[in-house]
Every structure is written in C-alpha cells, then in structure tokens.
Amino acid sequence: MKYFVFALAAILLSCQNQPAFNLQFEKVAQNLQFPEGPAWDGQNTLYFSNCYGNWLGMVQNDEVDTLLTVDSTQNCFRQTNGLTFHSDGYLYACDFGLGAIERFDRNGSCQIIEAGFNRPNDLAFGPEGHLYITDPKSYDKDTPDGCVYRYNFTIGKIELVADSLCFPNGIAFTADGKSVFVAESAQNRVLKFTVESDGKLTHRRIFAEMPGGDPDGIALDVRGNVYVAHFGAGRIAVFDPRGQLIASIPTPGKKPSNLEFADPDLKTLYVTEDETNALYRARVPIAGLALSYQQREGHESD
C-alpha cells in the first residue's frame, strides 16, 4: 500500500486548555468512488463505504481489502453511506441505494433490519442501545422534509424522533447520552438536541453555524470537543462543548465527508475525502470519545 504524507498545520483559533492541532495526513486508500462512513471495530479494523463503487472496504494491519460487493449479497446491499459498530459485534449501515438499514457480520453476511427510508445517511447508537438514523429527502434549505428515526430493538420497530429538518446528515451523542448533535447540511449548521427518556429529540437549538460548505460527519473527543467534516470547505472544524470554534484543520481535498477516531488509543483520526476520492488518517493530540456500548477505551491526552 502506498502512503502519501500531507503536512498540514491546523489553524488554531483558541489555545486555551487545548493542544495544537498540527496534523500530518497519510493516504491509506485511493482510487475510491465517494468514500464515506469510516467505522472502527474497537479491535484492529477500520471499515468504510465506497458509495458509488458498490463495495464495503476495510483496513486491517495497514492493508486495504474488500469486505463485500453488491454481487455477493443477493440484493441485501447496494450503496452504503454511514457505518457504525455495536457491542453485539455487527457492523450497521445506512444503504441509500435500497433505502434500508442493514447489518453485517465480520464475514460479510448481510441482513436488512428495516427498509422504507428515503435516503438514510448516517447513524449512531444511543446510550439505551437503540439505533438513531438520519434520513434526508430534499436538499433544499426551504424544504424541511428530513427526519431522524430510532430503531427500537426491544420492540423491533422504527420510531420518528425528530422531523422538519433540511437534509439531516452526521449524528453523534455526547458522553452522558443526554444530548445529540445532528448536522443539518442544507442549512449549513449543526444542531443540538436533548434526548428524552422515550428517545424523542427535543429542545432543538443551533450549536454551530458553518457557512462555506455542508457540515457532514461528526465525532467527539474525550474532552467533549465536536469534530465536523466540513464538506466543500476543505477542513475539519473543531468546536468546544459550548460551540466555540477552536481549530480549523485543513484536509487534503475540499470535500471531507466523514471521520472516525480509531486505533487502541483512539488517537488516530480517519477521514474520508471525496474530491481526491481517498481515505486518510492522522495522529491527533486528544483521544476520541469512547462510549460504553462500543466496548472500547480512550484516554485523556497528557
């Protein structure tokens, strides 16, 4: 596998109690077709979607391989986007080609969990163990027809938890599970919701405005900082828990689509980028947030 190192100095906007985000991006996989949805399995493998290439990829021991292709799944898999792991060992995926939510085992065996979505984009497990899914429809700032759903594993049904959104995209929970961030791409902003005991998302408020591009994938670190792939703006925007922009990390191309903390110490940030159609990674000074249901550990930076 060939590696290409990008020495990219982040623009640090606030240094109070924060390290410098001076990252060196290394190209891990190239010649992809709209890569998306990097997902760390908590052990030794990073998975990713190759949206228009119609296959799921994996990086293991610095080798890039294919988990499965459309031809191998007997109509269970077509075009995946967001991916996430659960402590049950399965990889869960949004399949916008089929309008479905799927899960895969480590051998690539596929099962459709629920179908009938418009264009499911990204997903995250809530603290109660149920699966939250963003489902956009129109890309129009004046057409709020996007929704967030929760798949309730207890009763095996989909529940509407938020609506009237303009292309909901990336989604990520806070450490305590009491709040969730949702990228509202067509409005160029990230929203923050309160998570109620029944799973409903309430008290919608603007967490961060992001002009100049679409907020896309979201990830958090152990300090509660929020990392957002700013598609079209060529950066990873880093906000503190109050929504203050503290760093702007240049990416190798203008279209970073998603991101994931990985490796045993959760200090490697993987980024999918759709202008260069490649997967990158860089070491970061602060570990990613470890959620208990993902059975992985992260540690505060020294």
More confident residue, 230 or 57: 230
* Residue 36 annotated as binding site: yes
pLDDT at 78 over 90: no
Residue 110: C-alpha distances to residues 85, 90, 122, 187 (Å): 14, 10, 18, 34
* Residue 184 annotated as binding site: no
Contact (CB, 8 A) for 182 and 134? yes
More confident residue, 293 or 188: 188
Average pLDDT over residues 102-115: 89
Q: Please write the tens of the pLDDT for every residue from 144-155.
A: 999 999 999 999
* Residue 121 annotated as binding site: yes
Amino acid at 166: C
pLDDT at 4 over 50: no
pLDDT of residue 17: 64
pLDDT at 299 over 80: no
| Domains present along the chain, CATH in parentheses | 1-30+215-302 (2.120.10.30)
Lowest mean pLDDT among 42-51, 105-114, 156-165, 236-245: 105-114
Is 214 strand, coil or helix? strand
CA distance 264 to 178: 26
Amino acid at 276: T
Strand-strand pairing, 45-50 and 55-60? antiparallel
CA distance 2 to 100: 35
Question: Is 163 an active-site residue?
Answer: no
* pTM (2 d.p.): 0.91
Percent of the chain with pLDDT over 90: 75
pLDDT at 301 over 70: no
Contact (CB, 8 A) for 138 and 122? no
pLDDT of residue 2: 43
Compute the CA torsion angle 160, 166, 168, 172 (nearest 10 deg): -100
pLDDT of residue 40: 95
CA distance 144 to 80: 23
pLDDT of residue 96: 94
pLDDT of residue 215: 98
Percent of the chain with pLDDT over 70: 88
Annotated catalytic residue, options 214, 216, 221, 274: 216
Lowest mean pLDDT among 41-55, 61-75, 146-160: 61-75
CA distance 202 to 95: 27
